[in-house]
Each structure stands twice: as structure tokens, then as C-alpha cells.
Structure 1
Amino acid sequence: MRYIGAILILLSLASNGQFNPEQIEIIRDEWGVPHIYAPTDAQVSYGLAWAHAEDDFKTIQEILLAAKQMMGRHLGRDGAPIDYVVGLLRCEDIVNQHLPEVDPAFIKIVQGYTAGINAYAANHKDEVLVKKAFPVTLKDVFKAYVLQLAVQDGADNLIRNLFDGKVDTIDFETKGSNAFAISRQKTTSDEVFLAINSHQPLEGPAAWYEAHLVSDEGWNMLGGLFPGGPVIFHGTNEHLGWAHTVNYFDKRDVFQLEMHPENDDLYRLDDEWLELEKRKVKLKVKVFLGLKIGVKRDAYYSKYGPVVKNSKGAFAFKMSVFDEIRAIEQWYKMNKAQNLTEFKKALSLTAIPSFNIVYADKYDSLYYVGNGKIPLRNSNYDWSTTLPGNTSETLSDGYHTFKDLPQLTNPPSGYLFNTNNGAFNATAAKDNLSLADFDQTMGYRAFDNNRSYRFMELIDQYETLSWDDFLDMKYDATLPDSLVYWIDLNPVFDLEPSLADSASQILEIIQRWDKSARADKIGPAHLNILYKGLARISDKIDINNISTEQYIKAIDYVRRYLLRYFGKIDVTLGEYQKLVRGEEEYPIGGLPDVIAAMYADYMGEGKVRAKTGESYIMMVRYPKAGLPIIETTNVFGASNRPESPHYDDQIPLFLNRERKQMTLDIDEVRENAKRIYHPK
């Protein structure tokens, strides 16, 4: 019945002209950030699609092309593997199966988005990457988010490792995000503080876009979203806000199938031999001058999920995104919540497959949940490794409810935080949850990282915090006293410099360094090069028991590296690490796993280019009365088009750790607008 209702809604939208562009305003502020106003939420989503396309139509298209299995037509052979993965994951089947579960009211929102993006494509045909890609449909948007959320939860690496014969693939990485919430009892200004500080790629399909969405139906939300998103993913409305960080529990189950000795398409399940379902995934690949060739590749499926065959056997895998498409609906309901009770009601959908949530509101409520959609698993098996795929005992049946998840509300300490550390260190030690109280098959871990240790060092200094103290904490770029990187670097700080011979000056620089990763510091580049040097030979050494000789060789590698590329050893981090936009490059601070983190890839001539880390920053204060006070920065600017003045205009703010003032008062936005227009 819900599906029939959804179809009737779509037909009515098509027939009554509900997406009249004349009723939709795109209001651009001095920074080019779009503030979208319309009478209805669906119209707002239409305007968001148009405004975002004005700023980054290419990336939005690539998200949708992947969902439509048309990346091969766009990128040729490089795009074909993406199309195969979409077929292997059966994104279309997932959407078809679960679309009836979506609230018909939310279908209107997605329909508004598709109408907006299709209208933009129709009016800008010269920008369309693949001619047959438009119009996109409601299902295409849902398929895009099945794929993106699967990738967020590691499907791409899992599939790659399965094809390579590497089946144990659960890794705890240092990359991630920060979220801090401080209650009124702990602030000197009698305000609630919230830091929204996700560490995402600076460019591409998972880079943040800032927007403000306002309707007469009660939508008033400012924050960040990814290309193709019809709602805000994290940010603040008039009443409350939240931040996401990536969390680590058991998100992927891998099963080794027992294959028939004489028929490699049959697998055992209990006392039966079942046939793998096989489909031909049709790939269209552009090869030269627009010429397209058709390719077919087999994709297999079992009762355990998609199947990959490799030299070790046949392996199936299961992820919660295979059973759920309402994640963006849940984000929408979080957008519209007006208090913690309504926010928790939205979370009770458990449709967002992962991500920690740190929440604060104007009512002085703080809340944390190690969110996830987690299967109910048989406790007789070790779910942290590859499982037997020949018994119904390892076929999960249903999912944990929201109440099963680790969560804290208003801890007596007056603060909550997460830096991608485990769910069991979210506040003062006496107020924390215990891992032992939760189902062990969920796969949660109790662990900390450099950022969580550093946050604890900082927060312990304060009985109460001023706003400036909070900003200092958010922008802190100093490593903790003891490091917890994957490779143990702590012994380096105690080595006798004379042991390093010609590299003794390098060792002395590292040991004198105050562990601050500011761009003007001498020392952080040396530690980063040392770490990368050890990582290059990690398969040849015991990273948990590195010898003095191996450390000395790595330190000498740093000396040779700096002399080769810079002609000196006293190199600052900013000389070595660059923020690059177009043809311009800028010195930038930050190291992996400091609070103000930055992760970089090699760019040539000895330098590295910032790739992931500090990106969209939102700092919020909730006074007792009135709207929240909001300050934001997005690493480059509001537009991804090089010809736009907003392509790089926020870089000075970003580098100087400054922010622009934002508001949820749409009248104030209009009063100070640089441009107001309709999407046509």
C-alpha cells in the first residue's frame, strides 16, 4: 500500500506543476554559499539540486553515472570496474525491493531533487558528460546512495581484496573526524558548544558542499552534504545540531562457501547443494573517439550475498546496505527534528548503516551514539574473521534495534566527544559505557587514537571553557605525549643521537620538536617522512619490535630525502606539505591523527599534497534564547568551477584558522545577499 501511495504522489507531482521554479529562490551570500528557500520541502530539494549543479555538476553526474552503470561510457576501461561493482552489489534489485518501505512523504523530496537535476541538465546540455544519462530517476538517486554507503563501509576494498585472495580485511585506520559537544555547565558564556569537524577528502564525490535549506514546512538546516545528496548530512537547525565521525564495528561479514567437488557453480547449505545465481553484467566501454564496445562479465550471488571467486575458493559477503535504502530519509527526519526526543525517534529507523553521532541542542542536551545497522549474529561463531558459508547458523536473521546500540545522554562530566576512537571513551572515565555490557558479535572495540588521547589531555585542563578555549581545542595540531600510530615511533624520541652517525642532526630535530604540526614548524615533516619510510618496508620488518638499527636506517633515509629534494635538513612542514587548488599551492600544516589532521599524497619533487583531513568546519554556539551562532569554513570555497570567484576564496580563512559568520535567519540572508534568482 505504501508503494501505491508513493506512485500516486509521483503522478501528482508530474501533473500539477508542484516544482514551479518561480516559487524557488536561490540566495547566494558573499561567499557564494546557496541558501535555498521555497514554500515546500520538495521544492527546496529541487533548488538544492540546481544550485549544487551550478557549482559542481561534473561530480554530481559521476555519482549518478556510477549508479546507472554508465561510468564505462564516461571513463572507458577505467570506469568499467565501477559498473561491474554496481552490478555485483545488485544496487537496482536492492532499491526495487526496499522502495515500498520508504515514507511516501520523503519520496516527494527525492522527486524534487531529480526534477531539479534533470531541469539543469536539460538547460545545460553542453555540460552533460554522457548523453543518455538523463533524465535520472528517483531510483537512480537511491541506487547512488546504496553504492556510496557501501563504499563508506568498505565495500570497494573488500571486493578488491577478495579478488586478490585476501579475505581477512578488517583494518583500523587513523583517518577520520572529530566531534565535540560541551554543555552550559562547562562553558564560561552559558552557551552550549558544538564542533562539527569531519575529515573528508578535499575534492571528489565525498567532499563536503555547504548549503542552507529553508521552507515554510519547517525545514531550516545549514550544513554539509555530498554530491547527489538531497538533504543535509550534518550541521545545525534552529534547535539542534550533530556531527558524524566514522566508527568501527563489524560492518562486513565474509563467508567461505563450500563448493561442490565437481561443479564450481554449486555450494552447500546445510544438507543441500544450491546453485549460485549467475548474471551477465553488461558493460558499455568507450574506447576511442566515442566508439563504445559491449562487454559482459559474470556476477554471482548466493544466499549469503554477492560472491567473488578467487584462487582460494568462493567467498560471499554481506553488508547492511543490502537490506536498507532509507538512510537519506533518516537524515531528512534528523534535519526536521526539533528536540532530542524527535531526533532519537529519527535515529530509531537505524537506516544509516554506520557513523558515530555527537549531538547538542539549545536545551542543553548532549547525546552520543555509536550508530550502526548491525545484524543479529550467532554467538557460537567468531564474526571477526572469515565464516563458514555452508550452514544456516551463520545466516543472520534481522538486525539489532536502536536501543541495543552504545549511547550516552547528558553525562555528568558535561561533555561528549569522538575522534573515531571506540564508543567506550566518549566522556569522562567515570561516565563511560563498558564494552562488556554489549553483544560481542556486534564487533565494537575499546580503543583510542592520538586524537582521543590529545583531546583528553586538553579537556582535563579545564573546569570551564571559553569560546576561545574551544576554538584552540578544535584547531589543536599537537600530538599527545605518547604516540599510538600503527608503527611505533615512540622509541625514536629516546634514541641516543650519536648512534645515528651522519643522521644525528635529523634525530636531534625530531627529539627537540614540540610535536606541533603547524606549517612553520621544523620536525613534523621529518616524522612524516620517517613514518612513510618505515611503512614502505613494513612487510620486511616487525613493526611491533623495530630494532635500533632499523630506526637508524629510516632516520638516515629522512636525511637523504631532504637533502635530495630540498638541499637542506631544516625543512618546515609548510615547505614539504602543500594545499593545492588549480595552479596555486600553499603551505599547510597538519599531520595524520592530530586533531586538526591532514593526510597527504606524494605530488613530486619531494613534496606532498593535502588530500584528506580538515575540510568543512562548522562551529556552533547555542545560547538560551535566539538562533544558534554559527561559524563555518569550507577548505576551498563554494564552487568547484575554476572560473568562479568562489573556487578558492575561502582558502585564506582555512589556512588562517578563521571562519565566516553564517545565519539561519532567512530575512537576514536576503538582506545581505549578493544575488537572488530562480533555478531556470
Structure 2
Amino acid sequence: MRDTYGVPHIFGETDADVVYGLAWAHAEDDFETIQQTLLAGKGMVGRVFGEKGAAVDFFVHLLDTRGIAERKYMEDFSPEFQKLVRAYLAGMNDFALANPKRVLLPAAFPVTEIDIISAYILSLAQMSGADEAVKKIIDGTIDKPIVKDPAAGSNAIAIHPTKTDTGEAFLAINSHQPLTGPVAWYEAHLCSEEGWNVLGGLFPGGLTIFHGINEHVGWAHTVNYPDKLDVFQLQMHPKNKLQYLVDGAYLELEEKRVWLKVKLWELITVPIPKKVWKSIFGPTMLTEHGAFSIRTGSLEVITAPEQWYHMNKAKNFTEFKAAMERMALPGFNTVYADKYDTIYYVSNALLPVRNPEFDYRKTLLGDSKRKLWNTYYPFNALPQQLNPPSGYLFNTNHSPFKATAEKDQLDPSAYDSQMNYLLTDNNRSVRLAILLQEEEIFTYEAFKRIKFDKTLPDSLLYELNVNPLFRLDAEKYPHISQSIRAIQQWDRTAQANSIGAAYFAYIYYFLRDRTNPEGLDPKRTLTEEEAVLAIEAAQDFFLTSFEQFPVSLGEYQKLIRGDKQMPLFGLPDVLAAMRSEPLDENIRKGEQGESYIMMVRFGEGLPQVETVNVYGASNRKESQHYDDQMGLFTRQKLKPMSLDKSVVLKEAIQIYRPNQK
């Protein structure tokens, strides 16, 4: 059943029926992106997308995601869940048969259980930092810190019913993902006669809701940053390049030749031979900088999709926590609320129990089996809070020890330092803590206003300390005095009509791209000379690139979909975050940040829920739902949604069965 905005509401007798329908509906809307995910699981991306895709294929071979799936799938996943996997694949393969013109690579079909599990393993390994580690090994910068994109975060907020004027629990689900591509959100409602009734977001290739709500409970994920991955440098034999020293004896690397089939010049597919290696420490790379192995739990525990399924079907906190205790998700903060007076937060992660004799925060010499780990901290050892006295919980990718009011926060010293959880705030957490503390009792409108807030704190917490921008003496620099005053008089809000926000956006990206292509240089303060140079560049840009001066943020930064362009709010690390990249010489296009948003009220009966997705339900240009939510999104408005089948039936615009549309 498709609603006014084309969102699929999928009904079936069994859970497997619904999963089949999800595969079909999602393929109708975004088959091309789903195929990218499935091609990655097969190691066939290079056959369609050339050299760039071949890099993904190499990563698949390096991590051996297909081999892991083949060895573990039948043993680790329950027969119940394997039935769902088969149903999803049946839907996907049937859709491909019915729509051959939309198939990117006929040789990729039919897709198999190993293909999709391999894709899951690959995605979760990337989320655990494996891709960043490989890049840094290749670059020879492995011990330099990874600078996080402040727009690539998420927000999650839960308010206990004792803190709301209606006695309802409130939940904000607000992930900051790329607006398009393999990890962009898709909204769906899944409902079976076997007790599955869930609404929320998933990624292309997903066969359950990743975060959302059912009739009883809801949860939001944000990315967290404890130490999920280790890098070991091997001590190689001086003459035999395949032998490495461990405990005084040389061991042999496992070596495997793989063939990357790469599409070139849109004409031919060329097989390119590569080698991958593995040590006892994990997947291994031999580079000009040395030999390095990576080790992460996401390549050992692969049942995350089944855990999400049990989270989807939880009827209360006890069942939800039991699902979380499966410890299959390699990361993610999780903020929870339900209709039974419970709010909860856990900084979930699959964290290895490491030998305390060694410092795993940097690359470790892989010379002893005593440095290997094979067990993980139990769930009850992770930072978590249940119904704090403050009445609220939140996370914005910051420290798990700052998840509520200051007086109720967890003590970081009570947790093993080897976990290496963040202890710091970010701009969003500072701002959100202030806003939450100001409300004695929350109305729903106040809750929404807080979630959509676009104001930076007075003292900024970007990796590069940019606060000197606001302390420049305008009289000292008369040629840019007007621009300096525009920055200093700015109210720190990222409204689309803000002139100060336009200046700050230009300056932020100018400094980011000038100092470090991956982000602002960490732990350094902007000099006065750099601040003047950045403001000069901003003033010159706006004077020469636009007919009118000064320029607002929405004139400079746009939400763009096909031929439609709209002024776009947001900056990196405001609560309503947005990162943009150049579209042309003058305009920036929103790329990552606010995307799928869900606001929930848990009271009597079914939860009341409102959502918006950045563009629309379909990724097909010919669909009316390709861009029909853009207006809502840019105005920060939401559409009502329902878990009630009778309501959905009554309001449905279209009702059909797969292959009978």
C-alpha cells in the first residue's frame, strides 16, 4: 500500500511474506542503489563502475567477507532468520526477472544468501573503521588520528513521560547520513500477522528496520567511537617476504591471488590480478611502509541483521534489552523509549578484552600471540542508563558519560580505559544539553523546536579552534571590516536567510579544504593571519560570484534534486546539521546531515508519529515521489504516519501485490 508520499506499507500473513514485499517495493523505488550493495557483496562492483568500483571489490577480497559468510552463515544464523533472508532474495531475484532493463549486470543474478550476508559484513566492517584503517595503511599515516566529519553524525533524544505535559514519552530519531547512495535512508512500514508491525528507516539491501518504532517501543542509533579495531605491524623476515616473526618463530602469511574484473572506457571488462594476505592477527596488507594486519570484531560476529530483527519485534524493554544482549551490532549508541514509562541509553559496541600490558590505541607490533584477543566485554559492562532522575537521555556522537543532566551522568572511571570511549563534547551536545536543561516540563512543540534547532554554542568545539574569527579587530582591517562585523554580529544560527551563516559556511569549508582534505586540523588554534585570509577569501567570493551583496546561506547552499533547487539551512555540527559540497563555482549542494527524521509520542494506544525524508520515497526521476518531500524538509515540517492498518488502508493512494501493479 502506497500512501500520499509513496511510502510503502507492506502487509503479509508471515514475516517472510513481508520481507519479500519489502524487497519488491524497495526495488521499485531504488533498484539501482540496492544493486550497488549486492554487487559489493559479490565483489563485482568494478564490472559496472570501473576502477572506483574495483577498489570496493579489492576491499571485499582483503576482508574475505564472502569467505566469512560461507563459513559462518548456516551455523550462526537461526533457521527462522535464514527463512527471511531467502524471502528477501526471492523478492529481489523475481524483481530482476520482471524488470530486466533495470538490471545493471545480468551476471550478478540470481543473488544468493552468501551475497547479502557478505554485503552486511562489508558494511559493518566499514562502520567499525576498517576502510579508514586500510586507507591510512596505504598512505603511511596509520597512527595519525582520524578526523571525523562533524556533519556525519546523528542525534537521538528520549524524554520520560514524567517530564512531558501530556504524560507521554517522546523520542527523536535523527540520523545524519549521506542524502543519496548506499547508506541513505529508505522509509518503510512492515506489518505481518506474526506480530511484526514496525515503521522506520533502513539502507538499500536491508531486510529489517534499522531504527524506528513498533506498537510498543522505539529506538534511535547514532555512531559511537570506542576502540572497535586494532592495527598490528608485522615484523617480516629479512629475506622471505611472506614470513613474519611471532614469539621468536617465523609464521607464513596466507596468500591468495584474486582477480578484479574492471570495466574500462565503457567498452571492455579487463581482469586484473591482485594478491591479498592474512596473518593470525587478521587481513593483512604489504605496502612500502611495512606489513600491517587489522583485527575487528565485525569480521567475527556477523549476526547483526538478525539482532535488528529481534529489536524490531520487541514488545517491551525486557525483550528489547534481550535483543541488545545478543551483542551482534559492532557499534552504535542506542537511545530507547516505550509506552511503558521507560527510557534507556547504551553506548553499544563489540569491544575486545585486550591484554592490559599493551597500548592498543596506536599501531601495535604484531610479534606475540599475547597481544591477540578473542573475547569481548559483556553487555552489562558497557555504559548505559535507565530512567535517570533528570528524565531525559540523549546522544550526538559525543561521550557516553554525558548522556543526561550533569548530576546524573555516569562516571567514566568506572569503565575499563581499554574501551577508549570518548570523554569529550561536540557543538551539538553542548547546545542540546543547554536546551534540555532549560525545560522543566516538555511540550511536544518545545521538543520539536529543540530537535530542529540550528544554533551553534557561544564557544565552538570544532577540531580546529576557529573562535579567533570572532575576536578580530575590524578597525585593524578596514578592507574587510564589513565582513568581520557580519561574522561577529552573527547570532550563530544556520537559518537559510542568515548572512553570517553564509560567511561562516564559506570560511569553514575554505579552512577545511586548505588545511586537511579530510577535515579541519585537530587540536590547533586558528591564527590571526589565517582568520584574516579566510575572511578575505569569503568577501572576494561573495562579491564576485553573486549579483547582490551580502549573500544569505540559502542563496549559497541549496538542496538539489534533478531540476529542483531550494534554499538549504544547516552547517556542520549544528543540531539540524548539514554538510555541503561545491555544485559549481558559486553554489554548494547539500550532501550529508539531516536526512530521515522521525518524531514519536508514546502514550495510550498506538504511538503518534511524524516523519520526513529529505527528498522522497523514490529514487526514480520519473516518479512523483522523487522530490515531493523536499518542501517539507526545507521548512522543517513533518508528515503524519501510522502503524494502524485500517488507517493506512483508508488513506492509501495505491494498493497492489508484487508484479501486479
The answer, yes or no, to whether TM exceeds 0.5 is yes
Aligned residue in 2 for 1:113: 88
Q: Post-superposition, which runs of at least 4 consecutive aligned residues in structure 1 deviate over 6 A?
A: 539-543
| C-alpha distance in structure 2 between counterparts of 1:481 and 1:596, whole Å | 17
One of 159, 165, 183 as aligned partner of 1:206: 183
| C-alpha distance in structure 1 between counterparts of 2:547 and 2:655, whole Å | 53
| C-alpha distance in structure 1 between counterparts of 2:461 and 2:265, whole Å | 49
SS in structure 1 at match of 2:95: helix
One of 361, 366, 370 as aligned partner of 1:389: 366
Q: Is the 8 A contact 1:321 1:353 kept in 2?
A: yes
Q: How does 1:30-429 map to 2 (within 5 A)?
A: 30-99=4-73, 100-173=75-148, 174=150, 175-288=152-265, 290-429=267-406
The gaps in structure 2 that reach 5 residues or longer are none
| C-alpha distance in structure 2 between counterparts of 1:490 and 1:569, whole Å | 25
SS in structure 2 at match of 1:160: helix
Give the superposition deviation at 1:494. 2.1
SS in structure 2 at match of 1:318: strand
| C-alpha distance in structure 1 between counterparts of 2:547 and 2:531, whole Å | 23
SS in structure 2 at match of 1:316: strand
Q: How does 1:509-548 map to 2 (within 5 A)?
A: 509-538=486-515, 544-548=524-528
Deviates more, 1:385-394 or 1:551-560: 551-560
Residue 583 of structure 2 corresponds to residue 606 of structure 1: no
**Aligned-partner residue type, residue 128 of structure 2:** D
**Aligned-partner residue type, residue 234 of structure 1:** H
Aligned residue in 1 for 2:414: 437
Deviates more, 1:555-564 or 1:186-195: 555-564
Residue 425 of structure 2 corresponds to residue 448 of structure 1: yes
Q: Is the 8 A contact 1:63 1:205 kept in 2?
A: yes
Encode CA deviations 1:440-466: one digit per residue, 9 max, x unaligned: 111112110000000011112111010
SS in structure 1 at match of 2:468: helix
Give the superposition deviation at 1:542. 9.2
SS in structure 2 at match of 1:458: helix
Give the superposition deviation at 1:533. 2.4
| C-alpha distance in structure 2 between counterparts of 1:659 and 1:376, whole Å | 44
**Aligned-partner residue type, residue 616 of structure 1:** Y
| C-alpha distance in structure 2 between counterparts of 1:336 and 1:543, whole Å | 44
Give the superposition deviation at 1:262. 1.1
Give the superposition deviation at 1:568. 4.8
Task: Decide whether aligned partners of structure 1 residues 169 and 67 sit closer, same or farther in structure 2, where only a CA change above 3 A counts.
Answer: farther
| C-alpha distance in structure 2 between counterparts of 1:570 and 1:383, whole Å | 50
| C-alpha distance in structure 2 between counterparts of 1:492 and 1:521, whole Å | 17
One of 595, 598, 614 as aligned partner of 1:615: 595
Q: State percent identity of aligned pairs.
A: 49
SS in structure 2 at match of 1:642: coil
Q: Is the 8 A contact 2:304 2:328 kept in 1?
A: yes
SS in structure 2 at match of 1:264: coil
Aligned residue in 1 for 2:437: 460
SS in structure 1 at match of 2:583: strand
SS in structure 2 at match of 1:259: coil
Aligned residue in 2 for 1:10: none
**Aligned-partner residue type, residue 202 of structure 1:** L
The gaps in structure 1 that reach 5 residues or longer are 1-26
Q: Is the 8 A contact 1:158 1:169 kept in 2?
A: no
One of 545, 548, 557 as aligned partner of 1:577: 557
Encode CA deviations 1:21-68: one digit per residue, 9 max, x unaligned: xxxxxx111111001110110110000000000000000001001111
| C-alpha distance in structure 1 between counterparts of 2:648 and 2:496, whole Å | 35
Give the superposition deviation at 1:97. 2.4
Q: Is the 8 A contact 1:499 1:552 kept in 2?
A: no
SS in structure 2 at match of 1:590: coil
Aligned residue in 2 for 1:497: 474
Give the superposition deviation at 1:535. 2.6
Q: Is the 8 A contact 2:611 2:640 kept in 1?
A: yes
**Aligned-partner residue type, residue 57 of structure 1:** F
Q: How does 1:462-501 map to 2 (within 5 A)?
A: 462-501=439-478
Aligned residue in 2 for 1:565: 545
Q: Is the 8 A contact 1:457 1:480 kept in 2?
A: no
Q: Is the 8 A contact 1:597 1:613 kept in 2?
A: yes
One of 644, 651, 661 as aligned partner of 1:672: 651
| C-alpha distance in structure 2 between counterparts of 1:289 and 1:413, whole Å | 60
Aligned residue in 2 for 1:653: 632
SS in structure 2 at match of 1:676: coil
Aligned residue in 2 for 1:549: 529
Aligned residue in 2 for 1:592: 572
Give the superposition deviation at 1:372. 0.5
Give the superposition deviation at 1:157. 2.1
Encode CA deviations 1:164-220: one digit per residue, 9 max, x unaligned: 111125425223000000011111111110000000000000000000000011000
Q: Is the 8 A contact 2:153 2:223 kept in 1?
A: yes
Q: Is the 8 A contact 1:435 1:445 kept in 2?
A: no
| C-alpha distance in structure 2 between counterparts of 1:657 and 1:292, whole Å | 46
Q: Is the 8 A contact 1:183 1:192 kept in 2?
A: yes
**Aligned-partner residue type, residue 151 of structure 1:** Q
SS in structure 2 at match of 1:260: coil
Encode CA deviations 1:300-321: one digit per residue, 9 max, x unaligned: 1101111112222101111111
| C-alpha distance in structure 2 between counterparts of 1:412 and 1:107, whole Å | 42
Residues matched between the structures, number: 653
Encode CA deviations 1:241-294: one digit per residue, 9 max, x unaligned: 000001011122011100011111100111210111110111112225552221
| C-alpha distance in structure 2 between counterparts of 1:572 and 1:90, whole Å | 49
| C-alpha distance in structure 1 between counterparts of 2:397 and 2:411, whole Å | 17
Q: Is the 8 A contact 2:464 2:522 kept in 1?
A: no
| C-alpha distance in structure 2 between counterparts of 1:327 and 1:503, whole Å | 54
Aligned residue in 2 for 1:644: 623
SS in structure 1 at match of 2:636: coil
Deviates more, 1:529-538 or 1:39-48: 529-538
SS in structure 2 at match of 1:45: helix
Q: Is the 8 A contact 1:266 1:274 kept in 2?
A: yes
Q: Is the 8 A contact 1:573 1:589 kept in 2?
A: yes
SS in structure 2 at match of 1:560: helix
SS in structure 2 at match of 1:460: helix
Q: Is the 8 A contact 1:284 1:293 kept in 2?
A: yes
Encode CA deviations 1:604-647: one digit per residue, 9 max, x unaligned: 12221100000000000011x20000000001110000000100
Q: How does 1:2-21 map to 2 (within 5 A)?
A: none
**Aligned-partner residue type, residue 156 of structure 2:** A
Q: Is the 8 A contact 2:177 2:185 kept in 1?
A: yes
Q: Is the 8 A contact 1:244 1:356 kept in 2?
A: yes
**Aligned-partner residue type, residue 140 of structure 1:** D
Give the superposition deviation at 1:532. 2.3
**Aligned-partner residue type, residue 64 of structure 1:** L
Give the superposition deviation at 1:569. 4.1
